[in-house]
Structure 1
Amino acid sequence: MIKLLNEGAFLLNGDKIYPDDAESLKKLQSQLGNKNISREMAKKNTIAYPILQEHNHSGDSKNLKIKFDAMAAHDMTYMGVLQTARASGVTKFPIPFVLTSCHNSLCAVGGTINEDDHVFALSAAKKYGGIYVPPNISVIHQFMKEKIAASGKMILGADSHTRGGALGAISIGEGAGELVKQLLCKTYDIAYPKIIGVYLTGKPENGIGPQDIALAIIGAVFKNGFVKNKIMEFVGPGIKNLSVDFRNGIDIMTTESACLSTIWKTDNRVKEYFEIHGREGDYKELNPGNIAYYDGLIYLDLSKIKSMIAMPFHPSNVYTIDEVNQNLYDVLDKVEKDAVKLIDSGSTKFTLKDKVRNNKLYVQQGSVAGCAGGTYENICAVASILDGHHLGNGNFSLSIYPASQPIYLSLIRNGTAAKIIAAGALFKTAFCGSCIGVADIPANNTLTIRHVTRNFPNREGSKPGNGQIAATALMDARSIAATAINDGVLTSATDLDIDYNVPKYYFDRGIYDSRVYYGYGKVDENQKIIIGPNISDWPEMTELPDNLILKVASFIEDPVTSTDELIPSGDTSSYRSNPSKLAEFTLIRRDPEYVGRAKKIQNAEKARIIGNLPFTENNDLKDAFTRVTEIYKNINLKNTGFGSLIYAVKPGDGSAREYAASCQKVLGGYANIAKEYATKRYRSNLINWGMIPFTIEDDPKFRCNDFIFIPNIRKTLLKKCQKLDAYIVRDKIEKFTLNIHKLTDNEINIILSGCLINYNKKQ
């Protein structure tokens, strides 16, 4: 089904694979009549290489400084971009910047605050020359595919699922700070990434959809880090057997593999996609050169992929649906044990085994939605399965969300929507809510199956702290529909004999033309920014002190910690335009005591900065400071700052939301310590908020509430040292080693300045 080649591989004429060894290289040199063929030369023949170099402004092919062609953010992230940009002195948007209102379209909490942010964004688009997409018109990634992405271009988005690879656009999801740098005409700095070939062959069997392929890939590569922070380049003869919608459905899910981005070879099907959307000029045929080299290769036979399911609580927790049904109690027992480890459930018990009747697993809810599920062909497939059936009035419910109003309109006009509604499913508007936990929130102890991007703990909207626990399994739309017509019994779509009907798609651009504000290049200096009562600026942040005494305010030993655990999505994100209010939710579902611990040490730092004694409520800090000064005589309250840090084994999996880092900073955080960082984007977010991304090689000897003393941290950063001595401060002081993996000059200066905003002001 899937094979991984760790040692690299050559690809000849886009078709034949050769392993990276001396014998293969000799054969290739002989076949091509060129003894100069080498690995380094062939690396330049990937699809990705010329695109990256055309956007590189460093003059150094190995250390890239990228300027993007366009950007996008949604209403869970664009407030951070806009507030930081305004604080940094932005006067106009130099490239097309799309602001979509697709995550917080409902007023889940706080009265008017969600709509206030939409009004704010529209006024900013008018003032600075942006593109504004109102609520329920399109989800962010669908709009970018339909209107912005172009072959050979590069897109930066403030959302981790920013992808346009199937259309030939290298697209990267990052935190708000990286978008602000582009608005200031600065660059995205990164070492040239490794390129992993994804060689597709064969044709999917009837009933297999893009989520099945995507989950199979994620299951093969996430846990071993095979594509982490690398670019996946899709090649091979199997691509021609996939529609563009199908390719897009796979592409959007590659984020869950932890890769940096993707790029696909393009063909006439992609050309037709651009023609349908009235953008013929944005197509370019992209292929690897006659001999291309990949740093690793994923070989995938599409014909061997079965109907897949990612059980709670991660997209990589992958099985075939048949495997689950054949080993029900073993699989469910493992998930229940995972729940105990991952969910702070108190006295509330979560179980899946109670959903088994007559050795069949019954599901209570289904949803097909957002950038992954809400594509035209996915919904047509659902309609083909539901046609002639009725879901009944039992426990199972099904919601369908087309990813854009143009898709919605086409489904209405050709009768597809009528089949879905007649079957008893709900047909809704473009919205990301069921992916992030602000729509279709299930009942307590419910299992929901969704064709969305993620199934992290509590991401479906349950709140263990309030005694509410539910869980999500990820599946393809086809198997969700198959389950729906089988009274909620977990069912593979390949068990059905269905003639899938996909009517011709007609794109009506009038919906966008009449509702979207296209302001790129139309700066209105007189436009007033409309600021609602919840919208507040970032609090002032100080420069990095010479020395640090940091309290370990949270200690997380889970193998991976997602950004959803660091700062929950869902209703809490409605406060995203008020940094102080949002920070109150930091780690609320994972470590509810963190905020109190962080604020207590932050109060000491605030007192220190204004010249007051910082130890009034912090006797433990006073004791730690005294012990440090007994050894380091030059330490005093003027040159030593106090703050908090978080330890986690592997933090930052998932979303690009900068709030996972900025909320820690707002609460006085100065650093993270980790074995490794799950994604580049989370590490970048820490840096852009002036926090130091330390790593540690051995298991830590410190624990929660311990103090860590880090002397001469400013000098250490300026000297670009990658190892430094730090000290655990208890009754005795114990030395240990912290690592700082290579930082660029700009990153060092951002940390020294205290955050990106301070750094930009200096510039």
Structure 2
Amino acid sequence: MITLSKGGAYLIGGTEVVETGAGSEELLKNKLGDKYLTKEDAAKNTMAYGILNEHNTSGNMDKLQIKFDKLTSHDITFVGIIQTARASGLEKFPIPYVLTNCHNSLCAVGGTINEDDHMFGLTCAKKYGGIYVPPHQAVIHQFAREMLAGGGKMILGSDSHTRYGALGTMAMGEGGPELVKQLLSQTYDINMPEVIGIYMTGEPAKGVGPQDVALAIIGEVFDKGYVKNKVMEFVGPGVSNLSADFRIGVDVMTTETTCLSSIWRTDEKIKEFYDIHGRVDEYKELNPGEVTYYDGIVYVDLSKIKPMIAMPFHPSNTYTIEELNANLEDILHDVEKKALVSLDGQVDYKLTNKIRDGKLYVDQGIIAGCAGGGFENICAAADILKGHSIGADEFTLSVYPASMPVYMELIKNGCAADIMAAGGVMKTAFCGPCFGAGDTPANNAFSIRHSTRNFPNREGSKLQNGQISSVALMDARSIAATAANKGYLTAATDVDVEFKGRKYHFDKSIYENRVFDSHGIADPDTEIQFGPNIKDWPEMVALTDNLLLKVVSEIHDPVTTTDELIPSGETSSYRSNPLGLAEFALSRKDPEYVGKAKEVQKAEKAREAGQNPVDALPEVGGVFEALKSNLPQYKIDNDTVGIGSTIFAVKPGDGSAREQAASCQKVLGGWANIACEYATKRYRSNLINWGMLPFIYESEELPFKNGDYIFVPEIVEAVKNKATDVQAYVVDDDKNVKPFTLKLGEMTDDERDIILKGCLINYNRK
């Protein structure tokens, strides 16, 4: 189904791939003659290069400084973003900024605080000149597809699944501080990313959907890091065999590969999408050049893709449904073994008890959100369900159209009625099933979902309370086939169905009647409406000359997700309250973290107040004495040594773009992370923007352990001087002092200044 090139490759005429290697240059020269280009010149013919070049303000395509055309956020992120920007002198949104309300839509959770956030968003849209999309109208990415995307444009969103490449828009999901920079007319600074060609041929079989294609790609590239922090560029003749909705469904899941962004070649089907939505002038034909060089190629034979399933607890844990059904006990046992790592043995997790009469029984099906809630997905599910019943046993089915216009069309064409007649429940646009705030199954239940993620707790269970359920990712078509089979896992290719291929009609009046659009006109006299849970960021001090860090958590899982760093679900209601939310930091991975971090923070608060930190945390006295005795060359006193906490994780930051994965550590006194590598660029950026040092120690054989202190002398000088290696010393329980080296990695001048000043707010404060 999916194969990967071993190196770079040329794409010729959009249809022929020539991989580089022994003899390839001569072959290309003979084949192309005067059209031959070097790798460097041919790399400029990618669609990605062209779009980045048009948005780069640095004048240097190796060191990009990007200004985006539009911004988008949702109600878990926009409060913190605007609060940060306000603290930095925001007066007006300089570019279109859309505030959607699709995450904290259930306003009974946490009292009034969710709706308070919505009213904050509405009044800010009025005051600063933005667009406000009320709850239940649309999920963030569907509204962006329908109303924001444009050919050759760039959009930045504070949600990791900000992907509109299928529509010819390069979009990126980042933590909130990167949007703050755009609101303050600053830039998004990155090195020119590598570009990987996703070369598609063939045509999907009947019953195969976009989630199947996406999961097949994710399963092949994730573990290899093949597209990590790179742009995925979808090309090849197979693209033309996919509808706009199908491409969108594949595109949104590219986040789970850990790529930076995506872009697709466009054609008449994409032009029709814009035409349907009344924005045909936003269409732009995009194609790679006649001779284009890619840093790698992912070959996707669409005709060989089969219905897929991503088993718990990661979208890359993929199998074909056929393979799973044929090896049921072995694969379920394997998932149970992996759960011992993912769940730290906190609960007795079982899947093999879901086998009934040799088949896998599923408790719940969900079709939802930016990945599953599209028009074609739900229509296909309705075609499969028509005339069937999901039964009256445990199995339930919920369907969430991605926007109210989609929902309206499903009502008009009868698909909603067919789903409800079968026993399914139609619900409004909501992202909850994707992050653990909606449709939480029963304890030990197993859910199949056409959504984006299946990390632990993404379905809403709480390990600390002994509650566990789990999610597998599937396409809407196979979810519907399973529902029609009353909960027994079934591939859509195994059912006899006629897909009607209904045409979509977009009703723009739905948004005209409900969405507030300032049309870019700010009203500075508008009073922002605050709720009691909306709090300012606490004051943060600048980086001190030297640092003393206590290791307060040590995580050796292969990957640590942002859900484990700061849980989603009901805790999302507290994201407008920095200190309130911080109480939940690492609560599902290391429940002792918050208490330990706060103990260390007492010493730093005392130091900042001009008091003796030893009085607040007596153990620091022994550490200081050991350092003074062993390292007399350094000045070690209360004025020059900041005291804070740090965590170690092998590979932290996979998953969500949420800045709170870093900011919660910061407000609890965190000064740094130490990792073998960072899972995503966006998590490392979040650390930097919150004034935390993104240290690297490449081996898991650590010179320190949980509870040790790490002294980092002359760190300010190291940051100023652009040092890549940083001298550090471990002080263990016996007060032995041992040297080791940390790496800082590449940072821009602005990023170094942000670190030195303590956070982005301090950097921008007037």
Q: TM-score, normalised by structure 2?
A: 0.98
Asked if residue 433 in structure 1 is aligned to residue 435 in structure 2, the reply is: no
Matches of residues 251-330 of structure 1 in structure 2 within 5 Å? 251-330=251-330
What is the alpha-carbon distance in structure 1 between the residues aligned to residue 329 and residue 725 of structure 2? 48
What is the alpha-carbon distance in structure 2 between the residues aligned to residue 415 and residue 146 of structure 1? 22
> Shift of the alpha carbon at 1:107?
2.6
Instruction: Give me the CA root mean square deviation.
Output: 1.0
> Shift of the alpha carbon at 1:345?
5.2
Instruction: Give a deviation string over 1:399-433, Cα, whole Å, max 9, x none.
Output: 00000000000000111110001001000100001
Q: Give the structure 2 partner of residue 654 of structure 1.
A: 655
What is the alpha-carbon distance in structure 2 between the residues aligned to residue 623 and residue 356 of structure 1? 58
Q: Note if contact 2:630-2:737 (Cα within 8 Å) is conserved in structure 1.
A: no
Matches of residues 458-469 of structure 1 in structure 2 within 5 Å? 458-469=457-468
What is the alpha-carbon distance in structure 2 between the residues aligned to residue 358 and residue 274 of structure 1? 49
Matches of residues 491-530 of structure 1 in structure 2 within 5 Å? 491-530=490-529
Q: Note if contact 1:344-1:465 (Cα within 8 Å) is conserved in structure 2.
A: no
Instruction: Give a deviation string over 1:465-488, Cα, whole Å, max 9, x none.
Output: 111011000000011111111121
Aligned partner of 2:352: which letter?
Answer: K
Q: Note if contact 2:35-2:291 (Cα within 8 Å) is conserved in structure 1.
A: no
Q: Give the structure 2 partner of residue 47 of structure 1.
A: 47
Q: Note if contact 1:138-1:404 (Cα within 8 Å) is conserved in structure 2.
A: yes
What is the alpha-carbon distance in structure 2 between the residues aligned to residue 26 and residue 337 of structure 1? 51
SS in structure 1 of the partner of residue 34 of structure 2: coil
Q: Note if contact 2:389-2:486 (Cα within 8 Å) is conserved in structure 1.
A: no
Matches of residues 358-397 of structure 1 in structure 2 within 5 Å? 358-397=357-396
Q: What is the percent sequence identity of the aligned residues? A: 61
Q: Give the structure 1 partner of residue 213 of structure 2.
A: 213
Q: Note if contact 1:93-1:520 (Cα within 8 Å) is conserved in structure 2.
A: no
What is the alpha-carbon distance in structure 1 between the residues aligned to residue 31 and residue 559 of structure 2? 46
Partner of residue 720 from structure 1, selected from 694, 719, 722: 722
Aligned partner of 1:712: which letter?
Answer: E
What is the alpha-carbon distance in structure 2 between the residues aligned to residue 716 and residue 352 of structure 1? 51
Q: Which stretch shows the higher mean deviation, 105-114 or 665-674?
A: 105-114
What is the alpha-carbon distance in structure 1 between the residues aligned to residue 6 and residue 725 of structure 2? 29
Q: Note if contact 2:401-2:429 (Cα within 8 Å) is conserved in structure 1.
A: yes
Asked if residue 115 in structure 1 is aligned to residue 119 in structure 2, the reply is: no
Structure 1 unmatched ranges of 5 or more: none
Aligned partner of 2:737: which letter?
Answer: I
Structure 1 outlier segments of 4+, above 6 Å? none
Q: Give the structure 1 partner of residue 401 of structure 2.
A: 402
Q: Note if contact 1:602-1:667 (Cα within 8 Å) is conserved in structure 2.
A: yes
SS in structure 1 of the partner of residue 718 of structure 2: helix
What is the alpha-carbon distance in structure 2 between the residues aligned to residue 385 and residue 300 of structure 1? 27
Q: Note if contact 2:602-2:617 (Cα within 8 Å) is conserved in structure 1.
A: no
Aligned partner of 2:461: which letter?
Answer: S
Q: Give the structure 2 partner of residue 756 of structure 1.
A: 760
> Shift of the alpha carbon at 1:665?
0.3
> Shift of the alpha carbon at 1:373?
0.2
Q: Note if contact 1:376-1:402 (Cα within 8 Å) is conserved in structure 2.
A: yes
Q: Note if contact 2:602-2:613 (Cα within 8 Å) is conserved in structure 1.
A: yes
Instruction: Give a deviation string over 1:516-565, Cα, whole Å, max 9, x none.
Output: 11114211010001100111100000000110110111100000000000
Matches of residues 77-96 of structure 1 in structure 2 within 5 Å? 77-96=77-96
What is the alpha-carbon distance in structure 1 between the residues aligned to residue 376 and residue 744 of structure 2? 46
Instruction: Give a deviation string over 1:357-401, Cα, whole Å, max 9, x none.
Output: 111110100100000000000000110010000112100000000
What is the alpha-carbon distance in structure 2 between the residues aligned to residue 185 and residue 610 of structure 1? 35
Q: Note if contact 1:547-1:641 (Cα within 8 Å) is conserved in structure 2.
A: yes
Aligned partner of 2:687: which letter?
Answer: L
SS in structure 2 of the partner of residue 324 of structure 1: helix
Q: Give the structure 2 partner of residue 614 of structure 1.
A: 613
> Shift of the alpha carbon at 1:146?
0.2
Q: Give the structure 2 partner of residue 635 of structure 1.
A: 636
SS in structure 1 of the partner of residue 376 of structure 2: helix
Q: Give the structure 2 partner of residue 742 of structure 1.
A: 746
SS in structure 2 of the partner of residue 615 of structure 1: helix
Aligned partner of 2:622: which letter?
Answer: D
Matches of residues 487-566 of structure 1 in structure 2 within 5 Å? 487-566=486-565
Q: Note if contact 1:345-1:467 (Cα within 8 Å) is conserved in structure 2.
A: no
> Shift of the alpha carbon at 1:30?
2.9
Asked if residue 451 in structure 1 is aligned to residue 455 in structure 2, the reply is: no
Aligned partner of 1:569: which letter?
Answer: S
Q: Give the structure 1 partner of residue 737 of structure 2.
A: 733
Instruction: Give a deviation string over 1:660-700, Cα, whole Å, max 9, x none.
Output: 00000010000000000000000000000000000012221
Q: Give the structure 2 partner of residue 179 of structure 1.
A: 179
Q: Which stretch shows the higher mean deviation, 690-699 or 445-454?
A: 690-699
> Shift of the alpha carbon at 1:344?
4.2
SS in structure 1 of the partner of residue 251 of structure 2: helix
Asked if residue 106 in structure 1 is aligned to residue 110 in structure 2, the reply is: no
What is the alpha-carbon distance in structure 2 between the residues aligned to residue 51 and residue 392 of structure 1? 51
Q: Which stretch shows the higher mean deviation, 377-386 or 627-636?
A: 627-636
Q: Note if contact 2:138-2:429 (Cα within 8 Å) is conserved in structure 1.
A: yes
Aligned partner of 1:364: which letter?
Answer: D
Asked if residue 645 in structure 1 is aligned to residue 646 in structure 2, the reply is: yes
What is the alpha-carbon distance in structure 2 between the residues aligned to residue 439 and residue 707 of structure 1? 41
Aligned partner of 2:743: which letter?
Answer: N
Instruction: Give a deviation string over 1:435-486, Cα, whole Å, max 9, x none.
Output: 1111100100011000000000111100011110110000000111111111
SS in structure 1 of the partner of residue 455 of structure 2: coil
Matches of residues 215-234 of structure 1 in structure 2 within 5 Å? 215-234=215-234
What is the alpha-carbon distance in structure 2 between the residues aligned to residue 643 and residue 467 of structure 1? 32
Aligned partner of 1:512: which letter?
Answer: Y
Q: Give the structure 1 partner of residue 167 of structure 2.
A: 167
What is the alpha-carbon distance in structure 1 between the residues aligned to residue 601 and residue 218 of structure 2? 40
What is the alpha-carbon distance in structure 1 between the residues aligned to residue 611 and residue 129 of structure 2? 46
Q: Note if contact 1:535-1:577 (Cα within 8 Å) is conserved in structure 2.
A: yes
> Shift of the alpha carbon at 1:502?
2.4
Q: Give the structure 2 partner of residue 193 of structure 1.
A: 193
Aligned partner of 2:160: which letter?
Answer: S
Instruction: Give a deviation string over 1:550-599, Cα, whole Å, max 9, x none.
Output: 01111000000000000011100100000000000000000000000000
Q: Note if contact 1:344-1:464 (Cα within 8 Å) is conserved in structure 2.
A: no
What is the alpha-carbon distance in structure 2 between the residues aligned to residue 78 and residue 497 of structure 1? 46
Distance 1:35 1:232, change over 3 A: closer
Q: Give the structure 2 partner of residue 693 of structure 1.
A: 694
What is the alpha-carbon distance in structure 1 between the residues aligned to residue 651 and residue 108 of structure 2? 31
Asked if residue 340 in structure 1 is aligned to residue 348 in structure 2, the reply is: no
> Shift of the alpha carbon at 1:162?
0.2
Aligned partner of 1:746: which letter?
Answer: D
Q: Give the structure 2 partner of residue 664 of structure 1.
A: 665
Aligned partner of 2:69: which letter?
Answer: D
Q: Note if contact 2:551-2:646 (Cα within 8 Å) is conserved in structure 1.
A: yes
Asked if residue 707 in structure 1 is aligned to residue 709 in structure 2, the reply is: yes
Instruction: Give a deviation string over 1:683-732, Cα, whole Å, max 9, x none.
Output: 00000000000001222121111111100000000010100111110221
Aligned partner of 2:449: which letter?
Answer: R
Instruction: Give a deviation string over 1:244-264, Cα, whole Å, max 9, x none.
Output: 000000000000000000000
Q: Note if contact 1:97-1:520 (Cα within 8 Å) is conserved in structure 2.
A: no
